[in-house]
């Protein structure tokens, strides 16, 4: 007795596999729309595919300023005013994933002590740095005079 192997339907055509993959992708997109809504999904897509100026969150910015002060002590005195401690950076105060803006301009933050106004540019984190600068005052005071 000869036995025939009946293999009908065992092999899938390439077209069927491609259509199945497209259907799965469409289902994932529809599911994402229901879970996140169009606004939430578009925000997530922007974050993934397009760069944003996220800036530091406040806790990280304060720690970074303290580290920048420590690192400035390793620099030669005549170059300490060019250290990152005296440079501006962007910060995300409200944790929305985008650095703070005043109109179309990003707000500049500085580590050293300064007078903060509720609005306006620049803003200061008031992280004290007692590392001496070239002119004899602290780096904190020298940065204030420079900018």
Mean pLDDT (whole number) for 70-83: 91
Residue 120, pLDDT > 70, answer no
Residue 145, pLDDT > 70, answer yes
pTM of the shown model: 0.58
Mean pLDDT (whole number) for 92-97: 80
Residue 2, pLDDT > 60, answer no
Does residue 26 or residue 35 have the better pLDDT? Answer: 26
Worst-scoring range by mean pLDDT, 41-55, 66-80, 115-129?
41-55
CA 130, 122, 115, 59 dihedral sign is negative
- What does the angle CA 128 – CA 134 – CA 135 come to, to the nearest 5 degrees? 90
Does residue 126 or residue 119 have the better pLDDT? Answer: 126
């Amino acid at each position: 007795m000869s036995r025939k192997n009946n293999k009908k339907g065992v092999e899938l055509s390439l077209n069927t596999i491609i259509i199945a993959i497209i259907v799965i992708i469409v289902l994932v997109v529809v599911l994402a729309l229901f879970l996140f809504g169009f606004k939430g999904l578009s925000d997530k897509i922007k974050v993934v595919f397009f760069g944003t100026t996220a800036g530091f969150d406040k806790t990280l910015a304060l720690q970074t300023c303290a580290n920048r002060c420590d690192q400035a002590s390793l620099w030669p005195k005549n170059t300490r005013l060019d250290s990152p401690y005296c440079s501006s950076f962007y910060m995300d105060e409200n944790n929305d994933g985008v650095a703070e803006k005043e109109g179309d301009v990003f707000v500049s933050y500085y580590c050293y002590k300064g007078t903060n106004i509720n609005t306006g540019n620049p803003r200061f984190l008031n992280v004290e740095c007692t590392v001496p600068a070239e002119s004899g005052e602290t780096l904190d005071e020298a940065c204030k005079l420079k900018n």
